[in-house]
Amino acid sequence: MLKARVLTALVMLPIALLILFVLPEDAFAMSVGLIVLVGAWEWIRLSGLVSRLLTWALLAVFAGVLIWSYLLPTVYVPMLLGIGCIFWIGAAAMVMMYPRSKEQVGGKRMKLGFGLLVLIPAYVALLYLRRHDAHLLLIALLVTIIWAADVGAYFVGRQFGTTKLAPNVSPGKSWAGLVGGMIVALAVGMLGASIGEPSDHLFSPIAWSVLIGIVAMTVLFSVLGDLFESLIKREQGVKDSSSLLPGHGGVMDRIDSLTAATPVFALSVYLTGWPLL
């Protein structure tokens, strides 16, 4: 299992770096769209739908929504990001109240609707960040913050994680892990911003303060994304979203944190004007 996990990671890492930092905008949008479409296929399965014909029909609809999202005028992007963030606040309530929130989680149709709210705002957010003048810095910060939070939470949680964060959803996560992940992410975020700081536009004290808030919100939502997918998998009685990635599970298992963190990160950048403060 460990060997398969390492080999898969070695293959995925250069592909991810190529998509995020090398490909031009249209190729970026198409590549991320294909990944999101695979995530949609996994989510349809997690919703409990087993009909192959209906699955293909839903994927065709989802592909149409992705194309619409790509063509969405910029003026509407903040509204869609806001809808995504509002959904994730509701998802937080479902996670913390589970299993009392089983009725809110709903049946197959409700879970399918959740899939749209999980994946589409994240796709729009990534497109917004890619189209931003400071896209290299913003995307680098986003992925390193999430990675740092995961690593920090894992090691601190293993050492000090006695009080569980959401024991009915994901027994492995703890409050200590959340705090540890937050501290590591803040340190990495500050370091990353220092390295990426433009020489002709030094960050002001306000910009550094805003960045701290953005990092903190991004980390909280990244944990929420992981927990919400765990809730959906628990409802379906499965460990992984699929077996597409040996040693890692499915695509959703790799991007669950990103789906929640990206909209709040992008909306924060839009509302605050960071890094151009």
Q: Determine the Cα–Cα distance for residues 70 and 124; give it in Å rounded to an integer.
A: 7
User: Taking 70 as the threshold, does the pLDDT of residue 210 lie above it?
Assistant: yes
Residue 4 vs residue 181, higher pLDDT: 181
Q: Determine the Cα–Cα distance for residues 34 and 28; give it in Å rounded to an integer.
A: 10
pLDDT confidence of residue 11: 87
The domain ranges of the chain are 2-272
What single letter denotes the amino acid at residue 21? F
Q: What is the mean pLDDT of residues 125-134?
A: 96
Q: Determine the Cα–Cα distance for residues 141 and 217; give it in Å rounded to an integer.
A: 13
Please report which helix (H) or strand (E) contains residue 98, including its range. Answer: none
Cα angle 159, 220, 206; round to 5: 115
- The pLDDT mean for the chain works out to 93
* pLDDT tens digits, 20-68: 999 999 999 999 999 999 999 999 999 988 789 999 999 999 999 999 9
Please report which helix (H) or strand (E) contains residue 243, including its range. Answer: none
